[in-house]
Amino acid sequence: MTTTPAEAPHRDAVPGTSAADTASAPEGRARRVSVRAGALLLTVAVVCGLCVLSVAIGSRSVGWDDILAGIAGHTDTFEQAAVFRRVPRTLLALVVGAALGLAGAVMQGVTRNPLADPGILGVNSGAALAVVLGMAVFGLSSAFGFIWVAIVGAALSAAFVYGIASLGTGGPTPLKLVLSGTATAAAMTSFVSAIVLPRGDIAENVQQWQIGGVGGGTFEKVGAVLPFLVVGFLLCLVCAQALNSLALGDELAAGLGEKPALVRGIAATGAVVLCGTATAVAGPIGFVGLVVPHVCRLLLGPDHRRLLPFSALSGAGLLVAADVLGRIVARPAEIQVGIITALVGAPFLIWIVRRTKVREL
């Protein structure tokens, strides 16, 4: 029997879908685009609002006139000076949070591991150990020196964890990566303690720095980290499409024209630069790279072209919010952001582990 044109299936129809479903596809895409645009605009608005709160809230109460004058650089009164000092602190929280959020999303994409995080995989601990060694052995004191040694330490730690996880059958599975990273992080934290305890001249500074915070933010620190962060951001963002292919598996990614080893190398380098730089200036802040990508993935889906920039923006907002919250709950004292992010991230980690089936790890 001959099929008439009216009876012939549409060439763009998906098996198992009706003509009505096919016709509604453009509407569905438009709806998704509007939802994503709304989520982006809402996130930008929230981050801007948090920045205003960050320069307004502290041990000293200030008014709107003082806020505007302090942002403009005026320091004629104590209130204006207080606002002026909060501006670089807010900027540092923004760039460090963006770096950690983006690095976490990239690590989860590279390893295909829902538990990947700079802290869990031992990258932050490697950077921290390198910084402490630089202070204790080489007498480093400049921001640039800390950043370089932190990047080297983060890279060595990441390579070590990946190498250990690659041993045995099955290669570097997500579970082996987590176990190797956790053990490496614990060992390096012990090494840091062993180095610091006999050195009373650096013990207090290292202990404060090791908690993780942005209270010591200055324009000089922000200027020192920006070139490194720009390089890290570019390396990560240029791999966004390739990470989508890697999510399908190495064989399919190679069939699509990607080079999995090269993509992993470039993306991992960008993540290591971001983690090392953030750790050098703010200490080993944990859980930002774990929480943020998961929330962004729930809102926007798994496409790394949207996930990576949105994770950077959301990470910036999360760290600024943690810094503001730390100033509110203990006013006039402060709670470091590393403590706040741990209080938020630890229950989130438990939820992810319970939600993820063991066989999927």
**Helix axis angle, 304-329 relative to 25-56, nearest 10°?**
30
- Give a yes or no: residue 59 inside a domain: no
Q: What's the pLDDT band for 24 if we cut at 50, 70, 90?
A: low
Predicted pLDDT of residue 112 = 84
Residue with tokens 């960008």: 270
List the domain range (segments joined by +) for residue 348.
88-360
Question: What's the CATH number where 312 sits?
Answer: 1.10.3470.10
Tens-place pLDDT, residues 26-76: 776 777 777 777 778 888 999 999 999 999 988 777 888 888 888 888 888
Structure tokens at 1: 């029997």
- Give a yes or no: residue 130 inside a domain: yes
**CB neighbours of residue 230 within 10 Å:** 12
Contacting residues for 213 by C-beta, under 8 A, at least 6 apart: 282, 283, 285, 323, 336, 337, 338
Q: What's the pLDDT band for 356 if we cut at 50, 70, 90?
A: low
* Residue 39 vs residues 31, 50, 182, 323: alpha-carbon distances, Å: 12, 16, 34, 23
Report the chain's mean pLDDT, rounded to a whole number.
85
The whole-angstrom separation of Cα 167 and Cα 344 is 33
Tens-place pLDDT, residues 321-345: 999 999 888 877 888 998 999 888 8
The whole-angstrom separation of Cα 292 and Cα 101 is 6
DSSP string computed for 99-128 = HHHHHHHHHHHHHT-TT--TTTTTHHHHHH
Three-state DSSP at 45 gives helix
Three-state DSSP at 198 gives coil
Q: What's the pLDDT band for 14 if we cut at 50, 70, 90?
A: very low
Planar angle of CA 38, 98, 114, nearest 5 degrees: 85
**Terminus-to-terminus CA distance in the chain, angstroms?**
52
The whole-angstrom separation of Cα 223 and Cα 240 is 27
- Give a yes or no: residue 179 inside a domain: yes
Contacting residues for 158 by C-beta, under 8 A, at least 6 apart: 121, 122, 123, 126, 268, 272
306 Cα distance to chain centroid: 15
Count structural domains, the chain.
Answer: 1
pTM for the structure as a whole: 0.85
Candidates 128, 163, 158, 160; CA nearest to 146 is 128
Find out whether 68 and 80 touch, Cβ atoms under 8 Å: no
The whole-angstrom separation of Cα 127 and Cα 280 is 7
- Give a yes or no: residue 79 inside a domain: no
The whole-angstrom separation of Cα 193 and Cα 189 is 6
Predicted pLDDT of residue 357 = 52
- Give a yes or no: residue 330 inside a domain: yes
Q: What is the dihedral of CA 309, 310, 315, 317, to 10 degrees?
A: 120
- Give a yes or no: residue 15 inside a domain: no
**CB neighbours of residue 113 within 10 Å:** 23
- Give a yes or no: residue 38 inside a domain: no
- Give a yes or no: residue 21 inside a domain: no
Residue with tokens 């570097």: 172
